[in-house]
A and B are shown apart, each in its own frame.
Chain A
């Protein structure tokens, strides 16, 4: 008996290890596997799809967290209720929104989304993606006119020039393909500000008044002399070299890769970032122990024990990154103008090509991104900076609005002028990899591990690994 048990176990373990081995051997056959199971599901659901009317009863929305869901629940007037686990939202006409959430980290979200978008044609009506979200860093991948996975908004019956007249221009440009056809829309604009510690400002500059501090950080040159004062008192201006990247990266004059080209052109602004960052890190204006962003060391510099004076954040950064990491009393931070206007992030809503719910997609997009009352509501409730010029102007002049975290300051008075001045950088489908890899490879250079030419070579190697079609990297003289 015992022997039998042992042999069963051995067989089981052999099978398991075989299965495990399969995953690393090759991805394609397992894809074939899932394809066949999908076909099976398709056959099973086909009958159901036939029963449904011309507009499907299931709206599949692909996103990476529950932010969009809470926004829809807050302002979309068709919502009845959301199930306990947050996966299904019932609408008044009886149709259901199915939320398909995959984390953004490590490209998981994009990988899953790409899979379903590529199988969109063969999928059953109720399995088709109807709406999906994308971020500024990779929005271009999905608005690409050759890929044609996001429907041009005019095809949905939306007139962007009219319906989105109050949106910030740069958000509309971001969601447009290379011909200027808008294929997505967003409820948020993400102008960035400089967020600084009031206690450090008082200690070094003798004042924590946002206007006074704003003058000290008006541009990079004055910022540097302010950094000198901070350093003299033992403070760091910023936490990491990656903190300043968005300001430069948003001001590039040409896209990383020109349409149809396979050459990456590194912009002069990026070189300025590299040179300035090296100068600043050697000069002691950055905390040398922090390497890049989104790591533990970086989070700790937002705590009360930290010596870091300021961060560069848009509205979401203050609420979702800075606030949770701050362990001191509320009201210790304040916002002021950044040394250079910039935009960081933003989630775009797209209707997927092949959707069986075009009308519902249109309604949701309009309700969430082009309705002043709705957007004002979102801004008031979550202090998100929403994509409506008049609503934001209204909030900026609203003296009753005060943020507790920012010591009673109304951040919209600072956000609104930045948003007006943002010129979005020309996008390409390669932005995400370029932004990520240039920060990583030059991290070694800033830390003094490699010299400048080696860092350049490392970037070239890494980017060609990520994007096999890239043939050349050109650096400015």
Chain B
């Protein structure tokens, strides 16, 4: 009797109780808004002056008119701005991470540099953008110094050209995020067993071989995580271009990102159109994440089905 009773004691309910707050807050603050956003995307719902128009059901009209608008161009802008920032970011971060975690290099003041590279990330993006905007303005300090030193004859209009504006935005994104990526990748590299590195030394690997054939494959999961978060962050790029171009995406709307486009719709509280755009963004980020996940995890023997399949195939091939 006693034995039976003890058997029926279940600790499971405590588990549920402890995760309850998350699900409650997720339900209230994420799920309901999410469903509402999708619902409103099928409605005509905006404000004209202080008169509310709608909500009137319009079916797929919002989606169609978005496709007819310049949405794809803004998606392209976002992609370009992201790539300009991301490529140097990941390259520098990998380089720094492998240097910092290399036992043989014996870098002094490692902790200090870790803090320094992370610092730009601590500044609010909008403050950072405003700082760059002021420094690089045509009559700003950078131009004044360059002119008085004699490097250039007359001030450079950084934000007057497509190339200038995009480079500055990309550079700022790089500067803000490379520290963060460095720290993440460093943690990943330090998670690799030291024995493996010793083995590579014994086998006579040079530094390049060690990096490309040992380190890189072993940090793949973290690398995938970094890329996925960077993609999502890139899709949401807003504050830097918004402030640098004063919300206009100048020149000629070439620096207008998708979220800035979304923000333009929210000026008239156009929930319908903004909702439809959000749904597109949701699908896009979902799709991109899926691709990246597939790409990086295909041969990873992590117990996933794809890995299992690949392994079996390999074995069959060997046998045959």
Q: Which of A1-38 contact B (CB under 8 A)?
A: 11, 14-15, 18-19, 21-22, 24-30
Q: How far is the CB of B281 from chain A (nearest CB, A)?
A: 10
Q: How far is the CA of A377 from the CA of B105 in the complex (A)?
A: 77
Does B30 have its Cβ within 8 Å of any Cβ on chain A? yes
Contact A458 to B252, CB < 8 A, known contacts A114-B47, A117-B50, A141-B50: yes
Report whether B138 and A289 are in contact in the complex, using a CB–CB cutoff of 8 Å.
Answer: yes
**Chain A interface extent, by class:** 35 or more
Report whether A440 and B50 are in contact in the complex, using a CB–CB cutoff of 8 Å.
Answer: no
Report whether A469 and B48 are in contact in the complex, using a CB–CB cutoff of 8 Å.
Answer: yes
Report whether B46 and A466 are in contact in the complex, using a CB–CB cutoff of 8 Å.
Answer: no
Does A51 have its Cβ within 8 Å of any Cβ on chain B? no
Contact A14 to B22, CB < 8 A, known contacts A22-B29, A29-B36, A466-B268: yes
Chain B, Cβ-Cβ closest to A14: B22
**Chain B interface extent, by class:** 35 or more
List of A residues within 8 angstroms of B248 by Cβ: 440, 462
Report whether A147 and B51 are in contact in the complex, using a CB–CB cutoff of 8 Å.
Answer: yes
Q: How far is the CB of A288 from chain B (nearest CB, A)?
A: 8
Does B137 have its Cβ within 8 Å of any Cβ on chain A? yes
Q: How far is the CA of A149 from the CA of B26 in the complex (A)?
A: 38
Q: Among the interface residues B137, B236, B271, B273, which one has the most CB atoms of the partner chain A within 10 A?
A: B137
List of B residues within 8 angstroms of A141 by Cβ: 49-50
Chain A, Cβ-Cβ closest to B48: A469
List of A residues within 8 angstroms of B30 by Cβ: 18, 21-22, 25
List of B residues within 8 angstroms of A467 by Cβ: 48, 268
Contact with B along A24-61 (1 / 0, CB 8 A): 11111110000000000000000000000000000000
List of B residues within 8 angstroms of A21 by Cβ: 29-30
Contact with A along B104-140 (1 / 0, CB 8 A): 0000000000000000000000000000001001111
Does A468 have its Cβ within 8 Å of any Cβ on chain B? yes
Does A107 have its Cβ within 8 Å of any Cβ on chain B? yes
Report whether B134 and A296 are in contact in the complex, using a CB–CB cutoff of 8 Å.
Answer: yes
Q: How far is the CA of A440 from the CA of B250 in the complex (A)?
A: 9
Does A447 have its Cβ within 8 Å of any Cβ on chain B? yes
Q: How far is the CA of A167 from the CA of B136 in the complex (A)?
A: 47
Q: How far is the CA of A443 from the CA of B250 in the complex (A)?
A: 9
Does B265 have its Cβ within 8 Å of any Cβ on chain A? yes
Q: How far is the CA of A117 from the CA of B47 in the complex (A)?
A: 13
Report whether A147 and B40 are in contact in the complex, using a CB–CB cutoff of 8 Å.
Answer: no
Does A454 have its Cβ within 8 Å of any Cβ on chain B? yes
Contact A28 to B47, CB < 8 A, known contacts A300-B139, A454-B252, A465-B264: no
Say whether chain A's binding surface is mostly helix, strand, loop, or mixed: helix
Does A243 have its Cβ within 8 Å of any Cβ on chain B? no
Does B160 have its Cβ within 8 Å of any Cβ on chain A? yes
Report whether A289 and B157 are in contact in the complex, using a CB–CB cutoff of 8 Å.
Answer: yes
Report whether A296 and B36 are in contact in the complex, using a CB–CB cutoff of 8 Å.
Answer: no
Chain B, Cβ-Cβ closest to A297: B139
Contact with B along A345-379 (1 / 0, CB 8 A): 00000000000000000000000000000000000
List of A residues within 8 angstroms of B29 by Cβ: 18-19, 21-22
Chain A, Cβ-Cβ closest to B159: A291
Contact A450 to B251, CB < 8 A, known contacts A26-B36, A27-B269, A289-B139: yes
List of B residues within 8 angstroms of A26 by Cβ: 33-34, 36-37, 40, 271, 275, 278
Chain B, Cβ-Cβ closest to A429: B49
Q: Which of A121-167 contact B (CB under 8 A)?
A: 141-142, 144, 146-147, 149
Q: How far is the CA of A21 from the CA of B49 in the complex (A)?
A: 28
Binding site for B on A (CB under 8 A): 11, 14-15, 18-19, 21-22, 24-30, 107, 114, 117-118, 141-142, 144, 146-147, 149, 289-291, 295-297, 300, 429, 440, 443-444, 447, 449-450, 454, 458, 461-462, 465-469
10 residue pairs, one from A and one from B, having the closest CB atoms: A289-B138, A449-B251, A26-B33, A25-B33, A22-B29, A26-B37, A465-B264, A141-B49, A29-B33, A450-B252
Knowing that A18-B29, A296-B134 touch, tell me 18 more A-B residue pairs with CB under 8 angstroms: A11-B21, A25-B30, A25-B278, A26-B271, A29-B33, A29-B36, A118-B52, A142-B50, A149-B50, A290-B138, A297-B139, A440-B246, A444-B251, A458-B252, A461-B70, A465-B265, A466-B267, A468-B273
Binding site for A on B (CB under 8 A): 21-22, 25-26, 29-30, 32-34, 36-37, 40, 46-53, 69-70, 134, 137-140, 155, 157, 159-162, 236, 246, 248, 250-253, 261, 264-271, 273, 275, 278
Could you give 18 example pairs across A and B, Cβ below 8 Å? A15-B21, A18-B30, A25-B33, A26-B36, A30-B33, A142-B50, A296-B139, A297-B137, A300-B139, A440-B246, A443-B250, A447-B157, A462-B248, A465-B265, A466-B267, A467-B48, A468-B265, A469-B46
